[in-house]
């Protein structure tokens, strides 16, 4: 997730406006930033790694000349944060500048093709193929608009781009597919931006571009076309009434709710995995004597789910260890063939870093699953796979959990296929279901949010709750309980449902909320017994299940119906109602879910 901005004006220099707009997009990424403008037929660029203010102090963005320009604030996906990898990116001649948010899936192929044609690349980014492709199409006397259109027909993946050229300095070309982009219509000024806050001080009149649409912006006009057919599209202008603060949260009252709603996009981006890195992970896992997962908090719950995934699907045993406990449990690596998979959103959690370092010093191969490119864990690990959730601002992890699960299930599926534990049909089924997951998660949110909000009004008055699941749903239950504890301050206990009768059931009295995570998998018949045990003691039964599961539905006071998915994928849709439940319960109790007491987003102490 990155932020892009483009401004063209008849009212003088735009560099300061570009910088200020980028600041308002910084929540979308903040590892590097850059601006390009055109004046006197020359493109000027200032960019570097770091936050916008830091770079501005060093380079003074406001001194860039010209009444047309584009800017970018980056959240790295390809290549470490560095000056070279920061946007805007230029073609060989330095006459075309491009900013991009998204992922170009076929960039390696295109890069090779373009290199053979004599193009020189200066960065490791996927984006840089775009200016070179445009340069290539311009050689056949196409207009800038047509060259951009042709270039976009060659790229696979997602994009929101803005392009300027010193050859046609009177326009900005912008386009989108799967990454957000809107156009702002000002007074003798035209804007394109990833999000509304960027342009709110200048205009409230916007046009939202749809997938596969591109636009040519001049200070007083906007022309929109389909990228595939080139046909002109007429679109309505919308008036935005949000305050700047509301706009930053995309109209949601809190970042946490915004991030819950972002999960379909985050999962879809994560599915665009680096295939080579995935294959390395799978080979290391398949040849390991011993497999450890280490992580903390929510990331530990993803690790626990992964342990079930590997066992059920690939027949591989592993250990999921809470990072701060690793040192006391690690027996060393006598065979020299162990692998440790460290999972962390931030890549900066001290406990996870320490555990990884201990393993590495003992000769263990360290694989990392991380959201923040360039973080400490990525530097320590031998190999890295990235979740592509984008920056998570809410302290409670939401979209980073479902994207971790997405990557882990891809690893388990590929390992199971390669060691022959699943046949091709099941592998195809898993991949098809993973590709459908963004839509399924969107449907869950749309269908269930109001019901969960109603349920939260009741839970807000409870002092305790049990979250119970069996098998892989134990991980979902633990994560649901953690969400409730950390933001709504209700004592919520996640437990394996089968174990609850060995002690915790003593707490149950009439009205005690028991939330069962009960998908229709191999544990389903056993969990029915656990539901009836709790019901017999007067517990209030809330079940998350699927529509075919009559036995649990008929014993429930409230049933939340979720889609039927492959058993190893169930934690992805099933956690979503529990995230929403914690969120609405916190709000109902008058707490700010974005700023839970005593907690920090990244815990850098042991």
Of 261-269, 390-398, 458-466, 517-525: span binding ligand M6R (CB under 6 A) = 390-398
Query: Per CB under 6 A, does 180 bind ligand M6R?
Result: no
Of 41-49, 120-128, 392-400, 413-421: span binding ligand M6R (CB under 6 A) = 392-400
Residues 6+ apart with CB under 8 A from 291: 285, 310, 316, 317, 318, 319, 338, 339, 341
Q: By the 8 A CB rule, do 367 and 341 touch?
A: yes
Of 65-73, 232-240, 256-264, 393-401: span binding ligand M6R (CB under 6 A) = 393-401
Query: Per CB under 6 A, does 299 bind ligand M6R?
Result: yes
Closer by beta carbon to ligand M6R, 97 or else 267: 267
Query: Per CB under 6 A, does 490 bind ligand M6R?
Result: no
Helix (H), strand (E) at residue 339: strand 338-344
3-state secondary structure (DSSP) of residue 256 = helix
**How far is Cα 166 from Cα 549, in angstroms, rounded to an integer?**
63
Answer for which of 101, 179, 189, 346 binds ligand M6R (CB under 6 A) is 346
**How far is Cα 96 from Cα 165, in angstroms, rounded to an integer?**
4
Angle at 381 between CA 377 and CA 385, to 5 degrees: 85
Q: Of 311, 303, 284, 285, nearest to 344 (Cα)?
A: 303
Closer by beta carbon to ligand M6R, 203 or else 476: 476
Of 305-313, 325-333, 391-399, 544-552: span binding ligand M6R (CB under 6 A) = 391-399
Residues 6+ apart with CB under 8 A from 421: 313, 314, 315
Closer by beta carbon to ligand M6R, 206 or else 342: 342
Q: Least distance from C-beta 485 to ligand M6R, angstroms?
A: 9
Q: Of 255, 268, 346, nearest to 572 (Cα)?
A: 268
Q: Is 92 a catalytic residue?
A: no
Query: Per CB under 6 A, does 395 bind ligand M6R?
Result: yes
The residue count for binding ligand M6R (CB under 6 A) is: 15
Q: Least distance from C-beta 486 to ligand M6R, angstroms?
A: 6
Q: Least distance from C-beta 260 to ligand M6R, angstroms?
A: 12
Q: Least distance from C-beta 281 to ligand M6R, angstroms?
A: 18
Query: Per CB under 6 A, does 349 bind ligand M6R?
Result: yes
**How far is Cα 190 from Cα 52, in angstroms, rounded to an integer?**
23
Answer for which of 73, 125, 270, 344 binds ligand M6R (CB under 6 A) is 344
Closer by beta carbon to ligand M6R, 479 or else 540: 479
Please pick, among 2, 174, 192, 514, the residue that the annotation labels catalytic.
2
Residue 254 Cα distances to 45, 200, 203, 348, angstroms: 35, 19, 24, 24
Q: What is the DSSP letter of 88?
A: P
Of 126-134, 246-254, 346-354, 379-387: span binding ligand M6R (CB under 6 A) = 346-354
Count of CB atoms within 10 A of residue 276's CB? 10
Q: By the 8 A CB rule, do 444 and 561 touch?
A: no
Q: What is the DSSP letter of 567?
A: G
Answer for which of 73, 352, 402, 545 binds ligand M6R (CB under 6 A) is 352
For 277, list phi and psi in degrees, rounded to 5: -65, -40
Please pick, among 451, 453, 535, 601, the residue that the annotation labels catalytic.
601
Q: By the 8 A CB rule, do 581 and 396 touch?
A: no
Answer for which of 85, 158, 179, 345 binds ligand M6R (CB under 6 A) is 345
Query: Per CB under 6 A, does 403 bind ligand M6R?
Result: no
What residues does 344 pair with on adjacent strands? Answer: 370
Name residues contacting ligand M6R, limited to 449-488 (CB under 6 A): 486
Query: Per CB under 6 A, does 602 bind ligand M6R?
Result: yes
3-state secondary structure (DSSP) of residue 233 = coil
Closer by beta carbon to ligand M6R, 35 or else 76: 76
Beta strand residue intervals within 350-490, DSSP E: 365-370, 383-386, 464-469
Residue with nearest beta carbon to ligand M6R = 297
Parallel/antiparallel/unpaired status of strands 96-104 and 189-193 = unpaired
Q: Of 464, 540, 551, 447, nearest to 507 (Cα)?
A: 464
Q: Is 601 a catalytic residue?
A: yes
Q: Least distance from C-beta 155 to ligand M6R, angstroms?
A: 32
**How far is Cα 539 from Cα 550, in angstroms, rounded to an integer?**
19
Answer for which of 2, 397, 415, 452 binds ligand M6R (CB under 6 A) is 397
Of 22-30, 212-220, 344-352, 583-591: span binding ligand M6R (CB under 6 A) = 344-352
Q: Least distance from C-beta 272 to ligand M6R, angstroms?
A: 21
CA atoms 575, 580, 583, 585: torsion sign: negative
Closer by beta carbon to ligand M6R, 297 or else 519: 297
Q: Encoding tokens for residue 364?
A: 């263990």
Catalytic site positions = 2, 601
Residue ranges that bind ligand M6R, judged by CB under 6 A: 296-299, 344-346, 349, 352, 395-397, 486, 602-603
């Amino acid at each position: 997730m990155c932020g892009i901005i483009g401004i063209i004006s008849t009212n003088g220099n735009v560099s300061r406006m570009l910088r200020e707009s980028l600041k308002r997009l910084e929540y979308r990424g903040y590892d590097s930033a850059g601006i390009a403008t055109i004046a006197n037929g020359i493109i000027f660029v200032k960019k570097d790694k770091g936050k916008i203010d830091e770079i501005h102090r060093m380079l003074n963005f406001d001194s860039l000349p010209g009444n047309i320009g584009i800017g970018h604030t980056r959240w790295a996906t390809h290549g470490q944060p560095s000056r070279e990898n920061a946007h805007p990116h230029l073609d060989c001649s330095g006459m075309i500048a491009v900013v991009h948010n998204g992922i170009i899936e076929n960039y390696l192929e295109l890069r090779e093709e373009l290199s053979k044609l004599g193009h020189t690349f200066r960065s490791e980014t996927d984006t840089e193929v775009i200016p070179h492709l445009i340069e290539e199409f311009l050689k056949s006397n196409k207009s800038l608009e047509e060259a951009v259109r042709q270039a976009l027909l060659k790229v696979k993946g997602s994009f929101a781009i803005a392009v300027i050229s010193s050859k046609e300095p009177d326009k900005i070309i912008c386009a989108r597919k799967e990454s957000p982009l809107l156009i702002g219509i000002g007074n003798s000024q035209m804007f394109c931006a990833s999000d509304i806050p960027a342009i709110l001080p200048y205009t409230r009149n916007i046009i939202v571009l749809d997938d596969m649409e591109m636009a040519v912006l001049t200070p007083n006009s906007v022309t929109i076309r389909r990228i595939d057919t080139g046909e002109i599209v007429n679109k309505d202008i919308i008036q935005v009434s949000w305050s700047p603060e509301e706009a930053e949260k995309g109209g949601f009252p809190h970042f946490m709710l915004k991030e819950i709603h972002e999960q379909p996009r985050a999962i879809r981006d994560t599915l665009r995995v680096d295939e080579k890195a995935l294959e390395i992970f799978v080979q290391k896992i398949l040849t390991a004597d011993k497999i450890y997962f280490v992580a903390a908090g929510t990331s530990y719950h993803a690790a626990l789910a992964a342990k079930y995934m590997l066992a059920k699907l690939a027949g591989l045993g592993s250990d999921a260890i809470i990072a701060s406990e690793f040192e006391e449990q690690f027996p060393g690596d006598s065979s020299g063939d162990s692998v440790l998979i460290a999972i962390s959103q931030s890549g900066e959690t001290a406990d996870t870093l320490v555990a990884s370092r201990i393993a590495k010093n003992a000769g263990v191969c360290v694989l990392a699953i991380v959201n923040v490119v360039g973080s400490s864990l990525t530097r320590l690990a031998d190999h890295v796979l990235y979740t592509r959730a984008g920056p998570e601002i809410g302290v409670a992890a939401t979209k980073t959990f479902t994207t971790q699960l997405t990557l882990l299930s891809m690893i388990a599926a590929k390992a199971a296929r390669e060691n022959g534990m699943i046949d091709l049909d099941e592998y195809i089924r898993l991949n098809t279901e993973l590709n459908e997951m963004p839509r399924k998660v969107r449907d869950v949110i749309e269908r269930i949010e109001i019901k969960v909000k109603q349920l939260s009004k009741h839970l807000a008055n409870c002092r305790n709750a049990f979250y119970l699941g069996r098998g892989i749903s134990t991980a979902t239950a633990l994560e649901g309980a953690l969400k409730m504890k950390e933001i709504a301050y209700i004592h919520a206990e996640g437990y394996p449902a089968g174990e609850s009768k060995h002690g915790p059931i003593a707490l149950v009295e009439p009205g005690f909320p028991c939330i069962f995570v009960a998908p229709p998998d191999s544990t389903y018949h056993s969990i029915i017994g656990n539901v009836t045990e709790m019901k017999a003691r007067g517990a209030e039964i809330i079940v998350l299940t699927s529509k075919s599961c009559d036995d649990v539905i008929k014993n429930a006071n409230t049933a939340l119906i979720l889609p039927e998915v492959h058993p190893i994928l169930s934690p992805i849709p099933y956690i979503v109602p529990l995230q929403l439940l914690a969120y609405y319960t916190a709000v109902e109790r008058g707490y700010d879910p974005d700023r839970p007491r005593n907690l920090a987003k990244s815990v850098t102490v042991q």
